[in-house]
Amino acid sequence: MSPSVRRRGPANRSSSVKIGFIGLGNMGGGMAVNLAKSGHVVTAYDLSSAALERACAGGCARAESAAAAVAGADAVVTMLPAGTHVRSVYEDEVFAAAHPQALLLDCSTIDVATAKSVASAAAERGLAMVDAPVSGGIAAANAGTLTFMVGGLDDAFARAEPILQNMGKVVIHAGNAGAGQAAKICNNMLLGASMVATAEAFVLAQKLGLDAQTFFDISSKASGQCWSMTSYCPVPGPVPAAPSNRDYEGGFASALMLKDLKLAVEAAQSVGAAVPMGAQAEALYQMFVGLGGAGKDFSAVTKLLDGSWN
């Protein structure tokens, strides 16, 4: 099966459906609101009352439990912290409450094995499901410009695609169940390793007497160019919108990058793949998070490398 890519446009917007949304954290909150803004009837639930209030202010209806959010929904979207939460929510509440024809979309970033297991459990109950993790961060979640990498059968993807288009700019069918998660952890392993390398280069350039802006002007137009430099520069100045210009607040937390790197390294071990750069990046982020950097954007690893992190 060849991967298919769709970019959002007015002609691709889905007709209104009833959606149950579970998990309204930094990413899920903006995603749920964008679905409501697109004309869907969104019933939302989260353990955090503050997160639920924000979603309701954005046009979602309140549910008092995950099961209540799912009841009567045409589609269910989940955005949860880890595989254990996904398995628990689906097995304890979603499967029992879901309409037999409901479509299940898990947008969490979890391990491939759990994604496949939950999808198999859904299929045993006659429910269609896709794993659809995202790339883009909080700003993209709020703006509706996420990239979705989707695993699932063709029919399930065809049903999920118009819903996902209301939350993102690119929707890619990566393959069958678990393929979306596989693509996500491989992508974020590459991102984590490239951010470390970019940060190292800036620190070295500075110690060799190069101005950060000068080095950026050169490398961003030379063979060292990469997304971590040109879109998310880890030092203040060259890219005004980067978290480095606001004390590394917002963006993609280092704790989440560490989570994704762990998933990638564990997946590599399970299939006998060599990922030395990914493993080194994991070790470095483990150190940074252990030293109190968990809540800082992952580009803040620069401060560990230059010795300025306390």
Catalytic residue annotation: 184
> Mind giving me the DSSP string for 257-270?
HHHHHHHHHHHHHH
CB 258 within 8 A of CB 188: no
CA 302 to CA 247: how far, in whole Å?
A: 12
CA 78 to CA 132: how far, in whole Å?
A: 10
Q: Quote the tokens at residue 206.
A: 């500075």
CB 74 within 8 A of CB 19: yes
CA 152 to CA 180: how far, in whole Å?
A: 8
> Mind giving me the DSSP string for 195-251?
HHHHHHHHHHHHHTT--HHHHHHHHTTSTT--HHHHTT-SSSSSSTTSGGGGTT-SS
CB 278 within 8 A of CB 268: yes
Q: Which residue, among 302, 279, 301, has the nearest Cα to 290 in the 3D structure?
A: 301
Residue 140 C-beta-side C-alpha neighbours within 13 Å: 14
CA 305 to CA 233: how far, in whole Å?
A: 15
Q: Which residue, among 283, 309, 293, 302, has the nearest Cα to 207 in the 3D structure?
A: 302
Q: Tell me how far apart the terminal alpha carbons of the chain are, to the nearest angstrom.
A: 50
